[in-house]
Amino acid sequence: MSDQPDRPPLTPEALAQAIAPHRERIDQIDAQLLELLNQRANQARAIGTLKGEAAVYRPEREAQVLARIAALNAGPLHGNAVQRIFREVMSECLALERPLTVTYLGPRGTFTEQAAARHFGSAALLQPCATIDETLREVEARQADYAVVPIENSSEGAVNRTLDLLTSTELRACGEATLRIHHLLMSQAQELPEVIQVYAHPQALAQCRDFLSRCLPQAEQVAVSSNAEAARLAAQPQQTHTAAIGPGQAAALYGLNVLDQNVEDDPNNTTRFLVLGHQAAGPSGADRTTLIVAAPQADHAGAMHRLLEPFSRLGISMTKLESRPVRGGLWQYVFFIDIEGHADDPSVAQALLEMRQRANFLKVVGSYPRA
């Protein structure tokens, strides 16, 4: 209930008269905004010329611009709205320096596409690839500038193919994005009981396990290469009793009915993505570093403790520790570690120096602004 005193409704003429001065002011402000946006674009273009052949995308600077804007914002625009607007402004300014091509795990309509679009804004040219391997290969071959790959999900854990590729790729991690994952159940069918088969990526099936056993206990679950592919298959003419699990974009793209929303078991279900490219990102002041290490004789008592000891001594927080078996090495493992800080921060640099002397293998995948 509003605590405003009841006012008689304005006649259409009186309403138009009351609105008119506000609209006049909005027109003036829009002209100023446009002038300022173009002044900003000119500055970015000048920076682009100075950069020459060097990378135009500077994730550390973008993170600083967005953090500064968040601190400056006095409202009433919501913080998220302001971030989205300035994200787009920077995306367009960057495109004037040089347009970027970004690969992602396709087809169109995947969560990775959403993460890439959010991170790079609308001016980047997004290029779907069939596999995570291909997204990296395109960038390695300089057919694209950056790759966006999923690395872990809060419910289902690591994306193992990405971890394995990180050990061998020459690319560096230079950015991070996180995305709340909300799955829809979509189909040509109109009602849940008509569904006899559900297609989805294995991770999505796992993230919706409780929903599927509760609401579709009889339906056959079929794992496919991506959720967008599941939607594409569910939209085929003969698949009238098939449903797919995936993002809203896929339902819209393939014209499917939404049978249910937020079918993920965990409402905080979040996926983390890395941006990979040829360049290292500079320190932004709020960074994370991803490393891959192998301890000598990791099965010996104290080997891991000795390897990680510099972190605690130098006050460096570890935000992730994940192991993966080494191909062809029975019971041998490499460890994927995320720490807070940039590899150029003095304490992190010191810890890495000491770890390098203690480890069998140490690779800094990259330092990047925290999402």
CA distance 225 to 281: 32
Choose between 92 and 265: whose C-beta lies nearer to ligand PRE.
92
- Only segment of 4-12, 18-26, 55-63, 237-245 that touches ligand PRE (CB under 6 A): 55-63
In angstroms, give the least distance from the CB of 115 to ligand PRE.
17
Choose between 128 and 277: whose C-beta lies nearer to ligand PRE.
277
Choose between 94 and 184: whose C-beta lies nearer to ligand PRE.
94
148: contact with ligand PRE by CB under 6 A: no
CB of 174 within 8 A of CB of 276? yes
58: contact with ligand PRE by CB under 6 A: yes
- Only segment of 74-82, 93-101, 151-159, 332-340 that touches ligand PRE (CB under 6 A): 93-101
94: contact with ligand PRE by CB under 6 A: yes
47: contact with ligand PRE by CB under 6 A: yes
96: contact with ligand PRE by CB under 6 A: no
Sheet holding 257-260, edge to edge: 220-223, 197-200, 242-246, 184-187, 257-260
User: Which residues are within 8 A (CB) of 176 and not within 5 positions of it... i.e. 6 or more apart?
Assistant: 272, 273, 274, 275, 288, 368, 369, 370, 371
CA distance 10 to 16: 9
55: contact with ligand PRE by CB under 6 A: no
Choose between 150 and 175: whose C-beta lies nearer to ligand PRE.
175
Instruction: Give the DSSP letter of residue 105.
Output: E
CA distance 175 to 21: 45
In angstroms, give the least distance from the CB of 253 to ligand PRE.
29
176: contact with ligand PRE by CB under 6 A: no
In angstroms, give the least distance from the CB of 2 to ligand PRE.
41
Token pair in block for residue 15: 């309403």
CB of 321 within 8 A of CB of 293? no
User: Which residues are within 8 A (CB) of 113 and not within 5 positions of it... i.e. 6 or more apart?
Assistant: 104, 106, 126, 128, 228, 249
93: contact with ligand PRE by CB under 6 A: yes
183: contact with ligand PRE by CB under 6 A: no
In angstroms, give the least distance from the CB of 99 to ligand PRE.
12
294: contact with ligand PRE by CB under 6 A: no
Site string for ligand PRE, 62-81 (x = CB under 6 A): x--x----------------
10 Å CB burial of residue 166 (0-12, 13-18, 19+) is: buried
Q: Which residue is nearest to ligand PRE (CB)?
A: 93
Choose between 87 and 201: whose C-beta lies nearer to ligand PRE.
87
In angstroms, give the least distance from the CB of 46 to ligand PRE.
9
CA distance 176 to 182: 19
Q: How far is CA 362 from CA 40, 53, 293, 334, 365, in A?
A: 42, 30, 4, 9, 9
119: contact with ligand PRE by CB under 6 A: no
First-residue to last-residue Cα distance in the chain: 39
90: contact with ligand PRE by CB under 6 A: yes
97: contact with ligand PRE by CB under 6 A: yes
CA distance 242 to 230: 10
Choose between 58 and 272: whose C-beta lies nearer to ligand PRE.
58
In angstroms, give the least distance from the CB of 96 to ligand PRE.
9
CA distance 128 to 108: 6
Which residues of the shown chain bind ligand PRE in the complex (CB under 6 A)?
44, 47, 56-58, 61-62, 65, 90, 93-94, 97
